[in-house]
Amino acid sequence: MGGDLLHTRILLPSQIEIAADLLRQGECVAFPTETVYGLGANALDEKAVAKIFLAKGRPADNPLIIHCHSRAQLGDLVVGWPRQAEILMDTFWP
């Protein structure tokens, strides 16, 4: 990471609003998944996304995944999708 320092905090479930505030401020947050910790940021904030690439040492030509909470949010990010994607959303999206 070339001398850049990333500050980390361990949050209790009751402190989730702190993580949301950090995301809104353009910071990154780590969160547990089934197997590893994920690193997240606001996908619409270019500087926040750059922090993800920096923290991971990931090349800029290796894209990141974006998680959407709803079909409406997906519609704000994507112009159209195939029928197969519609079927998967209907089947698996909560």
Residue 4 pLDDT: 59
Counting Cβ atoms within 10 Å, is residue 53 exposed (0-12), middle (13-18) or buried (19+)? middle
At residue 1 the predicted structure's pLDDT band, cuts being 50, 70 and 90, is very low
Rounded mean pLDDT, 47-56: 95
Residue 9 in this model has a pLDDT that exceeds 90: no
The answer on pLDDT for 47 being more than 90 is: yes
Looking at the chain, the whole-number percentage of residues with pLDDT higher than 90 is: 46
**74 CB contacts (<8 Å, ≥6 apart)?**
68, 81, 89
44-55 average pLDDT score: 95
- Residue 90, beta-bridge partner list: none
Domain definitions of the chain by residue range: 1-62, 64-94
| pLDDT confidence bin for 67, thresholds 50/70/90 | confident
